[in-house]
Chain A
Amino acid sequence: MSLLEPEVLARARHRLYGLLGRLLVEGPRPEALALARAVPTLAAVLPPPDAGPDVLDDLAAAHYAATTEVSPVASAVLGEDGLIGGPVADAIRAAYLAGGFHPSRTDVAIDHVGLQLAYLAHLCDAEAQAHADGALDAVERLTALQQGFLDDPLARWLPAWVVASGDAGGPVWRTVAELSLELVASHRSASRRSASRRSASRRSASRRSASRRSAPAPDAAPATTAGPGLDLDDPDVDLRSIATLIVRPARSGWLLSRTALARVCAAAGVTSGLGERGRVLAGALESAAALGQLQPLVEALMQELEAWQAQLERLGTQLLLPTEPWLARARQTHALLTTVRDAVIQVR
């Protein structure tokens, strides 16, 4: 038995997706932790099996922190309004239906990262069964479904979520998140290579046929996110508008975490407050303006954004993920902030 055998590989993916999805949805349940300890990367950060209840409580608290730092839901990242639900969630529900996946959980959003991984586990399980049955058509259909879902939505939003989550959940949940992204990236790369080989094979068999049924180009980027679309010359645009733009990742190209937001406020000496991130940032901008601290606050925002860009770019290069649309938006946001900062300096 070897991972070079497609059936074995599919079965292994089924188990690993299932485990990671379960961890991300449920947190540190004993059964999942027992499985996780078999995975070297996870075992390296997990507490020992005989850890007391306090340790498990800490782990559960870290899970909560990780999933509230930024929402682990695709629609909140990809959606135009930055809210949960809407067209992004609907598209994901449709994908599940197409793949015959009916999640039983109703306590988390349909487009929660854990459920998305569970969907891939479901597809891989079916693929393994198809290999065992020798049902090559089914294998092809299932791998196409996997590839499609890996490209969109997972590859579009998961890198941003992993970067934004940062260390909020401590080493365990950071590792779980990173391992999930690495699995998606490696699966996606392997899937695209295999699709490319299949396509080439078909082309050589029948050029005409191949031209009619060509697979999506391997380098085609997923749909880009929307642009900032904010006119600073517009008299209705104020600090609150800027805050609203920033906390909508699909527009700003930036998934601003709560921790990063707190750092920005601290740098400018204003309180970060509690509540929804858009309101907190708006409050901070207004307070800073009142205190004459707008320039340091904007500069702190720019610094955070630059760090975000650097991390995302590095991740994209390392894992061959399509992060450029994010980076393009982020550059526009950076330019916007530069304009604001310069304006502040001029006024002073």
Chain B
Amino acid sequence: MSTTTRIADALASLLGLPPSRSNRPAAPGGPTNVAGEAMPAYAEPDAAPTSLLEIHHPDGRMSSYPPPERWDDWVEWDSRAWPDKVARRYTLVPTICFNCESGCGLLAYVDRTTLEIRKFEGNPVHPGSRGRNCAKGPATHNQTYDPERILHPLKRVGARGGGRWKRVSWDEALDDIAQKMRESRLKRRDGIMYHVGRPGEDHYTNRCITAWGVDGHNSHTNVCSAAARTGYYLWAGFDRPSPDYANASTILLISSHLETGHYFNPHAQRIMEGIHRGAQLIVLDPRLSNTASKASVWLPTWPGSEAWVLLAIAREILAQGRHDRAFMERWVDWRGFNRDARRSLTDPEVLRHLPPEGTEGTFEQFEAALIALYRGFTFEVAAERSGVDAARIAEAAEAVIRGGSRLAAHNWRSASIGNRGGWQIVRALFLLNVLTGSVGTEGGTSGSSWNKFVPKPFAQPPPGSAWNELQLPLEWPFAHFEMSFLLPHLMEEGRGNVDVYFTRVYNPVWTNPDGFMWIRALRDESKFGLHVALTPTWNETAAFADYVLPMGLAGERHDLMSQETHAGQWIGFRQPVRRVAMERLGQRVDRTWEANPGEVWEENELWVDLSWRMDPDGSLGIRRWFESPDRPGEPITQDEYWGWIFDNSVPGLPEAARAEGLTPLQYMRRYGAFEVVRTNYTPYERPVEGTAGDDGLVRDPAGVVVGLDLGGGVLRAGFGTPSRRLELLSSTLIDWGWPEPDHTVPWPLQSHVAPEHIDRGAGQMLLLPNFRLPTLIHTRSANAKWLYEISHHNPAWIHPSDAERLGLGDGELVRIETEIGWFVDKVWITEGIKPGVIAVSHHVGRWRLQPDGGGNRFSTAHATLAEEGTRCSLTLHGGAAAYQTIDPDTSRVWWNNVGVHQNLTHGVHPDPVSGAHCWLQRAVNVRRADPDDRYGAVEVDVARSMAVYREWKALARSAEHHSPDGTRRPRWLKRPLKPTAEAYRLPSTPDEGTS
């Protein structure tokens, strides 16, 4: 600001005169669309700001925000122009954040003249996030206007991975890809694969894949939450917990879970509410995480020993007789336990309480057996195994007992996904909910599906008849879900290939373990015929694609989302906010890319066009699923698709819309969210109608099991297990070849990184590589400078005693050797990590292969890949630096260190039951780096990669040898897209089922 302006404003201010206009930006005259190419400008209307609504809710909702009735035309002062008072006139368009899977609501402030997005704030009417966001939500603006974002479809020039691209039209790209999809579909049903990171939506793409008639859904779940899902599913038939934190008396969290990492916002705000109301927070974590630092009881357990602590708490509950007998008698499948326990358990002290074989026995017999079963889990034993003081465990036990039916407990990743047998940690955790009767109660722990609402579309294609062995191979019949991280290893064994491979906002080269195996496979066109990367930003995997297709961010696409944020149900509607704003202002938009920056598109419209071209004459039976329900023979529009769903599939929405004189679609476009159910406690007690059979199950007229008979004509919904009750003893595991007692009931399984496997005297340590940062999310946040300014490197946390033993000082280079290679990092000496554990965070350590492209220069390091036989290496050339672009912020990059890519050095560890990659690594040697070692250097021997893969594969028990009924896997277990019953049949020849 000039001196003249400053003085003029100062003089004017004391007389209450308006400020000078000399420093105001020029007002553009009409719509612009500059994202990715210039910084946006905003108009200066002749209008007065509107006051925020001030309303105080009794719960945790926001109290001050723009009143929704003014969202269409909202005027406020421009904070960037401060201290000048410059008015801006916006239309506020709600959408849903795309940076993690929490589905928080955003409100885009779209300039009514220029149509540029000024900012993203929280959507106050969103029931899950309640107007609040973490740093990643507002950073969407930074990503939208990223000067290096991909704005147009790109096609590879030269060899795959060579880094040369040309711009092509959408038509050219769609025609080529659709033709290859058609060719594949004509010859096989497993040649098209859609590999998704986080879907960020609940059904749309799955419906498309089903319509294509292929078994092609591949997810990232087995490097994420598969182990926890397995544990919960075996117990209760739901695969994630949904704790009611805000109303809890005791909150019990394991390791670096979503409350500490990148999914934290909706849960963290409710944990804070719970704590403010007096809840006690117990955290098990070897690392002093953000959440652990807020705990009233922090138990820094040795990784993998958590089940010992949890079962010690369970034993104490039983010993004190504080278990909820009424709940357990009603809902635990104690009859199944009494019936099948002898097929698994061998402890005579337990067996002596069981009823005679062939009799149902009594609850009291079950109760006595249960007390005997866990009698050995004393605090002292748990303390010895976990390395935590027995008194602290006792303190946690008292808190759990005090919490009673208000015990909110959660584990999703970390300990469960870290350890071999991690799914049993979750089984042990949920045992505490079962014992305290805190299942689905107020303040207790619900199932995810109870608190998530997924509406049905207008027509659903029938289930497919194929089975893709590259996704769900026979060795892991309990895998939850696809064995996605083994894809290159399975291909290396010659077990198949893929014709058309879509990676969708997914970066397996960088995110998955053993990335060099991915690089080698992706380069091989006999393995991946065509690789199409659908991504908003450059990533390491897109570098090895044939097409890079620019996809929209949170404000550039349609999606419907729901998430189990609390004990209610809601839906959130992600929208292309510029398109909505243009339509509000009377402009017509046919395709979302017309409103988005450059030619950035959304998958929903892309899938319609691609499927249409794949089956132009309808002969494959695909096209009809993409036709408008109202205009036969014409492609469906997004308005039609979502309009039908909101009209027909969301209870209460049409009535709510009608009350405001809106159609349901207009309602969702205006508010962006709808609360379907305020609270949904104990839904398993829901009465059902049907016929009770001799097996105690209730079936509807179509023969589908809908509940169970509790006796006396009381028919209830129950749980999603075969018995419709909570299955303490898993008969399914016994049936499928896992009868060992440490598998069938909640029990500690020895982790691959148990203390006896780590020879600390020989320089070995436990590498904890999977803790998360709250401000970044894998690949997706890589083009947000604002977020990288907050966190950009991942030093190795090491305890002072270990640092002293290794002779390492703070900031010095350390070489960490794994089973397949090594990497070099800097050490950070801290008491916040357990001795013997070395911890390196995920999310950072990004690299690019071109000096000036292939990744944002503030978040990636220029790198060189090299191969010599089976030895592969990555060498970094510097790090981030300031540079000039249209965005002045890039010239303010002050950090250099962007971290180390450790995942390349992780061998694959498929858990023999859950199939989850067990992330924790045995660091076979940790030592001061060699004089020639450079920061960030990585070397791997992929021959060792395959050896480690085979070692772990040998632990699995294939359906081929253990299936009790000639099927590939238990049909009641979850799959994202379940094929027909016929497809579950074991193949009679190795190739059957793949064509």
Interface of A toward B, CB cutoff 8 Å? 1-3, 8-9, 11-13, 15-16, 19, 35, 38-44, 179, 182-183, 185-186, 318-319
Q: Does B83 contact A (CB under 8 A)?
A: yes
Q: Which of B870-894 contact A (CB under 8 A)?
A: none
The verdict on B7 contacting chain A, using a C-beta distance below 8 Å, is yes
Query: Which residue of A has the minimal Cβ distance to B1?
Result: A41
Q: Is the CB of A2 within 8 A of B17?
A: yes
Contacts A2-B17, A40-B83 aside, 6 further interface pairs with beta carbons under 8 A come to A16-B10, A16-B14, A38-B16, A40-B13, A182-B6, A186-B7
Q: Give complex CA distance A80, B130 in Å.
A: 69
Q: Is the CB of B3 within 8 A of A41?
A: no
Docked CA distance A15–B12 (Å):
10
The CA-CA distance from A179 to B10 in the complex, in Å, is: 9
Query: Is B15 engaged at the interface, CB distance under 8 Å to the other chain?
Result: yes
- Decide: B14 and A19 in contact? CB cutoff 8 A: yes
A19 to B6, CA, bound (A): 16
Contact check: which of B6, B11, B16 meets A3 at CB < 8 Å? B11
Given known contacts A39-B14, A40-B13, is B3 in contact with A319 (CB within 8 Å)?
yes
- Taking CB atoms, residues of chain B closer than 8 Å to A15 are 11, 14-15
B4 interface contact, C-beta 8 A: yes
Chain A interface main SS type: helix
CA distance A44 to B19 in the complex (A): 15
Chain A CB within 10 Å, residue with most, of B4, B6, B14, B82: B14
B8 contacts the other chain (Cβ, under 8 Å)?
Answer: yes
Contact check, A11 vs B9: say whether CB atoms are below 8 A apart. no
Inter-chain contact A182/B7, CB cutoff 8 Å: yes
Chain B residues within 8 Å of A, Cβ to Cβ: 3-4, 6-17, 19, 82-84
Which of B3, B10, B15, B17 touches A40 (beta carbons < 8 Å)?
B10
Once the chains are docked, how many angstroms separate the CA of A19 from the CA of B8?
15
User: Among the listed A2, A44, A182, which residue makes an inter-chain contact with B3, where contact means beta carbons less than 8 Å apart?
Assistant: A182
| Chain A residue nearest to B9 in the complex (CB) | A40
Do A183 and B10 touch (CB < 8 A)? yes
Q: A182-B3, A182-B6, A318-B3 are in contact. Are A3 and B13 (CB under 8 A)?
A: no
User: Of A38, A44, A186, which contacts B14 at CB under 8 A?
Assistant: A38
29 contacts between A and B (CB under 8 A): A2-B17, A3-B8, A3-B11, A3-B17, A12-B11, A12-B15, A12-B17, A15-B14, A16-B10, A35-B14, A38-B13, A38-B16, A39-B9, A39-B13, A39-B14, A40-B6, A40-B10, A40-B13, A40-B19, A40-B84, A41-B6, A42-B10, A43-B83, A44-B83, A179-B7, A182-B6, A183-B7, A183-B10, A319-B3
A residues less than 8 Å from B6 (CB atoms): 40-41, 179, 182
Set of chain B residues within 8 Å of A41, measured between Cβ atoms: 6, 9-10, 83
* Shortest beta-carbon distance from A318 to chain B in Å: 7
**Closest residue to B6 on the A side, CB-wise?**
A41
Known: A40-B19, A186-B3. A12 touches B84 (CB 8 A): no
Which residues from chain A contact B19 at a C-beta distance below 8 Å?
Answer: 40
B647 to chain A, nearest CB (A): 50
Contacts of B16 in A (CB 8 A): 38
Chain B residues touching A, majority SS: helix
Contacts of A1 in B (CB 8 A): 15, 17
Q: Which residues of A contact B12 (CB under 8 A)?
A: 3, 12
Partner of A8, one of B3, B9, B15, B83: B15
Q: Which residues of A contact B84 (CB under 8 A)?
A: 40
CB-CB < 8 A to A40: which residues of B? 6, 9-10, 13, 19, 82-84
CB distance from B158 to the nearest CB of A (A): 54
B10 contacts across to A, CB distance below 8 A: 16, 39-42, 179, 183
* Given A1-B17, A182-B3, A16-B83 contact (CB < 8 Å): no
Complex contacts, B3 vs chain A, CB 8 Å: 182, 185-186, 318-319
Provide the bound-state CA to CA distance between A319 and B4, in Å: 10
* Nearest CB in chain A to that of B4: its residue: A186
Top 8 nearest A-B pairs by Cβ distance?
A: A40-B83, A12-B11, A15-B14, A186-B7, A39-B10, A39-B13, A38-B13, A182-B3
Whole-angstrom distance between the alpha carbons of A206 and B84 in the complex?
A: 46
Task: Kindly report which residue of chain A lies nearest to residue B15, judged by CB atoms.
Answer: A12
Provide the residues of chain A in CB contact with B9, threshold 8 Å.
39-41
* A318 to B4 alpha-carbon distance, docked (Å): 11
In the complex, chain A residues whose CB is within 8 Å of the CB of B11: 3, 9, 12-13, 15-16
Q: Point out the residues of chain B lying under 8 angstroms from A319, CB to CB.
A: 3
From known contacts A40-B9, A179-B6, A183-B7, infer whether A12 and B14 are also in contact, taking CB-CB under 8 Å: yes
Q: Which chain B residues border A38 with CB–CB below 8 Å? A: 13-14, 16
In the complex, what residues of A have CB within 8 A of residue B7's CB? Answer: 179, 182-183, 186
A9 contact set on B, CB distance < 8 A: 11
* Min C-beta distance of A321 to chain B, whole Å: 12
Kindly report which residue of chain A lies nearest to residue B83, judged by CB atoms. Answer: A40
A40 CA to B7 CA, complexed, in Å: 10
Residues of chain B within 8 A of A43, CB atoms compared: 83
Closest chain A residue, CB of each to CB of B84? A40
- Closest-CB distance, B7 to chain A (whole angstroms): 5
Q: B182 to nearest A CB, angstroms?
A: 63
In whole angstroms, how far apart are the Cα atoms of A276 and B82 in the complex?
A: 43
Alpha-carbon gap, A220 to B488, bound state (A): 84
Most buried by B among A35, A40, A179, A183: A40
Residues of A within 8 A of B15 (CB): 1, 8, 11-12, 15
Complex: A2 Cα to B18 Cα, angstroms: 9
- Shortest B991–chain A CB gap in Å is 73
CA gap between A38 and B16 in the complex, in Å: 8
Residues of B within 8 A of A42 (CB): 10
A183 CB contacts on chain B under 8 angstroms? 7, 10
Whole-angstrom distance between the alpha carbons of A3 and B13 in the complex?
A: 11
In the complex, what residues of A have CB within 8 A of residue B8's CB? 3
Shortest CB distance A180–B (Å): 10
Residue on A nearest B20 in the bound complex, by CB:
A3
A16 cross-chain contacts in B, Cβ below 8 A: 10-11, 14
Q: How far is the CA of A39 from the CA of B17 in the complex (A)?
A: 11
CB distance from B82 to the nearest CB of A (A): 8
Q: How far is the CA of A16 from the CA of B15 in the complex (A)?
A: 10
**Residue from B4, B9, B15, B17 whose CB has the most chain A CB atoms within 10 Å:** B15
Chain B nearest CB from A123 CB (Å) reads 15
Minimal Cβ-Cβ distance residue in B for A20: B10
Assembled-state Cα–Cα distance A2/B19 (Å)? 11
CB distance from B33 to the nearest CB of A (A): 33
- Complex CA gap A42/B82 in Å reads 12
Taking the nearest CB of chain B, how far is it from the CB of A187, in angstroms? 8
Residue of B nearest to A187 (CB): B7
| A19→B9 CA distance, assembly (Å) | 15
CB contacts (< 8 Å) of B4 on chain A: these are 186
Question: What residues on B are CB-neighbors of A11 within 8 Å?
Answer: 15
Q: How far is the CB of A132 from chain B (nearest CB, A)?
A: 14
C-alpha spacing A182/B8, complex, angstroms: 10
Measured CA separation A16–B6 after assembly (Å): 12
A contact residues around B13 at 8 Å (CB): 38-40
Nearest opposing residue in chain B for A183, CB measure = B7
Complex: A9 Cα to B4 Cα, angstroms: 14
Q: Which of B8, B10, B16, B84 lies at the interface centre, i.e. has the most chain A CB atoms within 10 A of its CB?
A: B10
Q: How far is the CA of A8 from the CA of B11 in the complex (A)?
A: 10
Residues of B within 8 A of A12 (CB): 11-12, 14-15, 17
Residues of B within 8 A of A186 (CB): 3-4, 7
Cα-based distance from A9 to B17 in the complex (angstroms) = 11
Q: How far is the CA of A27 from the CA of B17 in the complex (A)?
A: 26
Q: How far is the CA of A13 from the CA of B17 in the complex (A)?
A: 13
User: B84: shortest Cβ distance to chain A, in Å?
Assistant: 7
Residues of B within 8 A of A44 (CB): 83
User: How far, in angstroms, from A43 to B84 measured CA to CA in the complex?
Assistant: 12
CA gap between A3 and B11 in the complex, in Å = 8
A38 to B11, CA, bound (A): 10
User: A183 to B9, alpha carbons, bound, how many Å?
Assistant: 11
Q: Across the two chains, which residue of chain B brings its CB closest to A319?
A: B3
Shortest beta-carbon distance, B81 to chain A, in Å? 11
Cα of A319 to Cα of B3 in the assembled complex, Å: 8
